[in-house]
């Protein structure tokens, strides 16, 4: 935090603003390894809270965690034709181990379908072994040429769910269920609204039958693919001979799903909520929910204010929130920094509530609560400060979702639109544009070529326009579906 010059404003250069916030809020740092980053404690603290919330949701839906090898024999990737085409070009390859050249190179997992379904084939014999519902928390590597902190790094942390089912319909239900879990998490915990729907053939996961996605709008009006869920059909089951004996005694291939979210979500959180003062973290995910900043002039005042601040801190909770129902509170007793400098720092770090406490507040038996999201201040009696802070945190969590949703709707375009106008929008400030599509991959490709915008999803019913579009945005032929178009990360 030595660097106290102002952030580049979002309006001036969103990309520069993003990097500055990530670095100065100490979420992450560049590492000496090209394309790999270091996740610092304040960033990792957000990830830990994301993990805990998601893990609870996965377990509540019947999944159990397991761990599969980092290395995958190169030949495994080649067993599913689309999969190898999608992933082989971006793998890191281990060719030497223990000082010797390997007979068969090992790929560092870019995703684990191949190794996991090879194991499932060993474990599943009969319909009684299904469904098999597994999740893995792991690191994966994809050899990206252009990287961005959190959004696109060579190595990233994620979870990947992998399941096997007896029927297509059960797999489809699972893929949709987990998309719903992701949406609940993104909206309920991250305060980041998403549009859900199906990916087109050209945007689906390499090896999937169908891919579903949660798409969030960032403050530069670009889309972030925040989480995907795939119905893999029987593609991997065929490739790895994952069969089961049916109830009637026959043998069939199992039906698989996979689904994942990653540390990319932290980038999404920054780009959804950050402002020109820095980070704003939704309370449920904030490593620190409340920071208490004492104000004093004389030594006598300092003694009184410190004593009161410590009492408040103890009454609210503690730094690691080791007891349930206690808040994660920090007390900033540094004597070398003025209050203003502390405000500046904690605003940069996105702590949802600041408690200011000076001698005059003490005389009135109160403290001042300051919301990070709006900057609004309110006094709180020291007799009820615990309840007041809790209520304020809840209100901030809700307000952040409402604000983000309003922002997205303000930058969504629906209704009849010419292709010229569409290009103008995409060349300008961008938007989520809901428009008709003829279903032809050629139109999709042409639009991408000409505007860099892609079909993010064919949106689920609740996101579709009241008046369905009638014609394709590009070729003007009759539309077969409504598509959500945007530029994306």
**Binding span for its own copies by CB under 8 A among 86-94, 166-174, 179-187, 480-488:** 86-94
CB of 103 vs its own copies, minimal distance in Å: 10
Helix (H, G, I), strand (E, B) or coil at 152: strand
CB of 208 vs its own copies, minimal distance in Å: 23
CB of 71 vs its own copies, minimal distance in Å: 5
CB 185, CB 193: distance < 8 Å: no
Helix (H, G, I), strand (E, B) or coil at 437: strand
List 4, 11, 65, 378, residue binding its own copies (CB under 8 A): 65
Applying the rule CB under 8 A, the residues between 343 and 382 that interact with its own copies are none
Mask for 200-229, x = binds its own copies (CB under 8 A): ------------------------------
CB of 367 vs its own copies, minimal distance in Å: 27
Judged by CB under 8 A, how many residues of this single chain contact its own copies?
A: 62
CB 401, CB 191: distance < 8 Å: yes
At 96, phi and psi to the nearest 5?
Answer: -130, 140
CB of 43 vs its own copies, minimal distance in Å: 8
CB 262, CB 161: distance < 8 Å: no
Q: Rule CB under 8 A: say whether 77 interacts with its own copies.
A: no
Q: Give whole-number Cα distances, 335 to 292, 300, 345, 465, in Å.
A: 14, 14, 15, 57
Q: Rule CB under 8 A: say whether 241 interacts with its own copies.
A: no
- Only one residue has tokens 């909520």, namely 273
Closest residue by Cα to residue 286 from 183, 396, 149, 387: 396
Applying the rule CB under 8 A, the residues between 415 and 444 that interact with its own copies are none
List 23, 157, 368, 399, residue binding its own copies (CB under 8 A): 157
Q: Rule CB under 8 A: say whether 72 interacts with its own copies.
A: yes
Measured CA to CA, the distance from residue 102 to residue 400 in angstroms comes to 52
List 19, 40, 234, 390, residue binding its own copies (CB under 8 A): 40
**Binding span for its own copies by CB under 8 A among 101-109, 159-167, 201-209, 345-353:** 101-109
Measured CA to CA, the distance from residue 10 to residue 406 in angstroms comes to 18
CB 226, CB 198: distance < 8 Å: no
DSSP 278-290: B----GGG-S-SE
Q: Rule CB under 8 A: say whether 134 interacts with its own copies.
A: yes
| Minimum CB distance to its own copies smaller for 73 or for 379 | 73
CB of 109 vs its own copies, minimal distance in Å: 10
**Binding span for its own copies by CB under 8 A among 117-125, 169-177, 188-196, 200-208:** 117-125
Q: Rule CB under 8 A: say whether 108 interacts with its own copies.
A: yes
At 280, phi and psi to the nearest 5?
Answer: -130, 120
b or e along 155-166 (b: 16 or more beta carbons within 10 Å of the residue's beta carbon)?
bbbbbbbbbbbb
List 80, 113, 155, 174, residue binding its own copies (CB under 8 A): 155
List 8, 19, 53, 70, residue binding its own copies (CB under 8 A): 70
| CA angle (45 as vertex; 357, 196 as ends), nearest 5 | 110
Return the H-helix or E-strand segment holding 262: strand 255-262
List 11, 67, 340, 391, residue binding its own copies (CB under 8 A): 67
CB of 147 vs its own copies, minimal distance in Å: 12
**In the numeric block, which tokens belong to residue 354?**
């600041």
- Only one residue has tokens 């992701």, namely 182
CB of 60 vs its own copies, minimal distance in Å: 7
CB of 273 vs its own copies, minimal distance in Å: 22
Asked whether the CA dihedral 439, 442, 444, 450 is positive or negative, the reply is: negative
Q: Rule CB under 8 A: say whether 146 interacts with its own copies.
A: no
- Only one residue has tokens 């070729």, namely 475
**In the numeric block, which tokens belong to residue 443?**
């139109």
Mask for 18-37, x = binds its own copies (CB under 8 A): -----------x-xxx--xx
List 89, 340, 375, 478, residue binding its own copies (CB under 8 A): 89
**Binding span for its own copies by CB under 8 A among 45-53, 195-203, 300-308, 417-425:** 45-53
**Binding span for its own copies by CB under 8 A among 89-97, 166-174, 366-374, 463-471:** 89-97
- Only one residue has tokens 């009849």, namely 416
Length of the chain: 489
Helix (H, G, I), strand (E, B) or coil at 41: helix
**In the numeric block, which tokens belong to residue 198?**
């199906």
Mask for 298-337, x = binds its own copies (CB under 8 A): ----------------------x-x-x-------------
Q: How many CB atoms lie within 10 A of CB 233?
A: 19
Residues making contact with its own copies (CB under 8 A): 2, 29, 31-33, 36-41, 44-45, 47-48, 56, 59-60, 64-73, 76, 89-99, 105-106, 108, 115, 118-119, 122-123, 125, 134, 138-139, 141, 143-145, 154-155, 157, 320, 322, 324
């Amino acid at each position: 935090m030595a660097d106290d010059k102002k952030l580049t404003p979002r309006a001036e250069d969103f990309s520069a603003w993003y990097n500055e916030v990530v670095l100065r809020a100490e979420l992450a740092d560049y590492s000496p390894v090209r394309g790999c980053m270091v996740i610092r404690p304040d960033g990792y603290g957000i990830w830990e809270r994301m993990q805990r919330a998601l893990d609870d949701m996965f377990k509540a839906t019947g999944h159990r965690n397991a761990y599969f090898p980092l290395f995958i024999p190169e030949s495994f990737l080649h067993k599913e034709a689309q999969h190898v085409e999608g992933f082989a070009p971006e793998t890191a390859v281990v060719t030497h181990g223990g000082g010797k050249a390997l007979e068969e190179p090992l790929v560092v997992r870019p995703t684990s379908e191949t190794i996991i379904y090879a194991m499932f084939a060993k474990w599943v014999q009969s319909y009684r072994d299904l469904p098999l519902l597994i999740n893995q928390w792991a690191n994966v590597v994809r050899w990206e040429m252009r990287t961005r902190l959190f959004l696109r790094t060579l190595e990233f942390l994620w979870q990947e769910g992998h399941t096997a089912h007896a029927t297509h319909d059960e797999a489809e239900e699972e893929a949709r269920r987990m998309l719903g879990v992701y949406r609940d998490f993104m909206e309920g915990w991250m305060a980041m609204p998403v549009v859900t729907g199906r990916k087109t053939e050209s945007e689906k996961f390499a090896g999937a039958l169908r891919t579903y996605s949660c798409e969030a709008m960032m403050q530069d009006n670009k889309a972030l693919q925040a989480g995907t869920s795939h119905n893999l059909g029987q593609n991997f089951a065929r490739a790895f001979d994952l069969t089961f004996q049916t109830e009637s005694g026959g043998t069939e291939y199992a039906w698989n799903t996979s689904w994942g979210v990653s540390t990319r979500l932290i980038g999404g959180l920054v780009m959804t909520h950050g402002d020109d003062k820095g980070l704003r973290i939704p309370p449920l995910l904030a490593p620190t929910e409340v920071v208490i900043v004492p104000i004093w002039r004389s030594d006598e005042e300092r003694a009184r204010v410190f004593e009161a601040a410590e009492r408040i801190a103890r009454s609210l909770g503690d730094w690691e929130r080791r007891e349930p129902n206690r808040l994660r509170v920090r007390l900033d007793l540094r004597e070398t920094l003025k209050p203003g400098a502390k405000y500046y720092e904690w605003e940069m770090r996105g702590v949802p509530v600041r408690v200011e406490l000076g001698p005059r507040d003490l005389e009135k038996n109160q403290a001042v609560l300051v919301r990070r999201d709006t900057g609004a201040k309110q006094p709180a009696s020291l007799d009820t400060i615990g309840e007041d802070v809790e209520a304020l945190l809840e209100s901030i969590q809700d307000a952040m979702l409402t604000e983000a949703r309003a922002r997205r709707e303000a930058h969504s375009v629906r209704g009849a639109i010419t292709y010229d106008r569409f290009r103008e929008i995409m060349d300008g400030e961008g938007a989520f544009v809901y428009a008709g599509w003829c279903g032809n991959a050629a139109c999709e490709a042409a639009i991408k070529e000409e505007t860099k915008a892609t079909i993010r999803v064919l949106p689920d019913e609740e996101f579709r326009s009241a008046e369905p579009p009638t014609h394709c945005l590009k070729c003007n032929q009759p539309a077969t579906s409504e598509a959500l178009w945007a530029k994306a990360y």
